[in-house]
């Protein structure tokens, strides 16, 4: 009497198995899509590096300087909440643009851009993470020690800065295959120098940035927003 039920039971088990597989597949796809946005890096028309969905309705642009302690603090304080809580969903993107304040800043900005765009944020985060170390070396040298930074052509000056501050070895921590010759080529890259200086000029003349870090949201400069504590509520309210 129980025999006729077996095919029904088998079909039910099959249906449950198929449903579970479909749910797992959907969950896996969602996780993959989420991870994809936090790993997607592209360059904007002006040369900034964009993390996340370039079509995101909520676009943040950060104007930052590598010699700015507040910029290093923002990177530390916003991690990982910005990526996992906002960028991962595809509704928010972050573009990092340079605001050059001094020769050391220019040197580090060029090093952060030294390599494939897709690995930019690894170098960006790494160089900001060690800011106290290499910026401390700059401070300990004093004016006399820094005098050579202002002698010779631009390439020579940038290489001296990178050498004095240990930035060749520092970059290799985040780009292991980089050789001295490749790093020197990045420092001498006129096209990249032009891009970062043009971003600075645009920030000053058009956006009216007066300090770093500064942020625009939807193309509008956010007044009195210079850290993650001030920026996060604005993102969460939208």
pTM for the complete prediction? 0.85
Of 24-33, 82-91, 205-214, the least confident: 24-33
In degrees to the nearest 10, what's the CA dihedral of 182, 184, 189, 192?
A: 80
Backbone phi and psi for residue 45, each to the nearest 5 degrees, phi listed first:
-60, -30
> How far is CA 74 from its chain centroid?
11
- Res. 199: pLDDT tops 60: yes
Report the CATH fold assignment for 35-236: Glutaredoxin (3.40.30)
- pLDDT tens per residue, range 107-121: 999 999 999 999 999
Residues 6+ apart with CB under 8 A from 134: 108, 165, 166, 167, 170
- Res. 2: pLDDT tops 90: no
Domain ranges of the chain: 35-236
């Amino acid at each position: 009497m129980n025999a006729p039920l077996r095919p029904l039971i088998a079909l039910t088990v099959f249906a449950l198995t198929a449903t579970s597989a479909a749910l797992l597949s959907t969950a896996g796809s969602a996780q993959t899509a989420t991870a994809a946005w936090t790993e997607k890096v592209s360059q904007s028309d002006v040369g900034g590096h964009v993390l996340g969905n370039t079509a995101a309705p909520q676009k943040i642009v950060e104007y930052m300087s590598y010699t700015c302690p507040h910029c290093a603090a923002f990177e530390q304080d916003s991690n990982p909440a910005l990526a996992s809580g906002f960028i991962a969903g595809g509704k928010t993107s972050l573009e990092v643009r340079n605001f050059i304040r001094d020769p050391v800043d220019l040197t580090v900005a060029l090093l952060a851009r030294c390599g494939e765009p897709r690995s930019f944020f690894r170098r960006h985060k790494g160089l900001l993470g060690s800011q106290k170390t290499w910026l401390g070396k700059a401070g300990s040298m004093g004016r006399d020690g820094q005098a050579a930074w202002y002698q010779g052509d631009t390439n020579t000056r940038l290489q001296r800065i990178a050498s004095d501050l240990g930035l060749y070895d520092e970059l290799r921590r985040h780009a292991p295959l980089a050789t001295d010759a490749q790093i020197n080529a990045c420092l001498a890259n006129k096209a990249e120098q032009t891009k970062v200086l043009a971003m600075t000029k645009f920030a000053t003349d058009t956006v009216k940035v007066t300090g770093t870090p500064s942020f625009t949201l939807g193309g509008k400069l956010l007044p009195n927003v210079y850290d993650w504590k001030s920026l996060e509520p604005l993102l969460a309210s939208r």
